[in-house]
Amino acid sequence: TGEQGIRELVEKSTELLKDVRYLEEKELVQKFLRELGTNTGMVTYGQKQVLEALELGAVETLLISEEVDVYQVTVNCQQCDYSRVDRVKAKDMADYEERVQKENCPECGSSKLTLEESADFVEELAEKAKDTGASIEIISTDTEEGMILFKSFGGIVALLRYPLTNY
């Protein structure tokens, strides 16, 4: 009975901790939505905007949905100096690679475009957040707020240290 009681206690504790984590996540997403709704300039969202805010050191807290699965891909032309960086969802990667192989360089017209690098975009964001002292929160999609973050805002948002102009 003593061992069974300990097991039950551990199971209940695990559920309680999970509930506490969901509450923390809900509060973070609600704070983002509140700031966005009052137009304070203290939040930003979208891959490009959040990356730029991180590079400026403006991000206090980075919120990333657990469902975000994006790669950052570098495309180069072997004929000229053309290069670009695209962000592609993991599930679309095979189609993307096929499209690039059929594509001509927009600068020189060559058909020699190649995929040079592919990196996990979330890892890049996390590295930049670490470098600038921003905290990182992974948000579950098990709550309504988590689903809103993922479906409505692409799963990548930031609470800022200071307002940014032009965002």
pLDDT in tens, 109-147: 999 899 987 788 999 999 999 999 999 999 999 989 999
Look at residue 22 in the predicted model and tell me its pLDDT. 82
For domain 70-120, the CATH architecture is: Single Sheet (2.20)
Residues 66-112 have pLDDT tens digits of 999 889 899 999 999 999 999 998 889 899 999 999 999 999 999 98
Predicted confidence at residue 166, as pLDDT, reads 56
CATH 2.20.28 occupies which residues in the chain? Answer: 70-120
Report how far residue 39's alpha carbon sits from residue 120's, in angstroms, rounded to the nearest whole number.
31
Closest CA to 87 of 119, 57, 60, 114: 119
Would you mind telling me the total number of residues written for the chain in this entry? 167
pTM over 0.85: no
CATH number of 2-68+123-160: 3.30.1330.30
Ranges in the chain annotated CATH 3.30.1330.30: 2-68+123-160
Q: Is 60 exposed, middle or buried (0-12, 13-18, 19+ CB in 10 A)?
A: middle
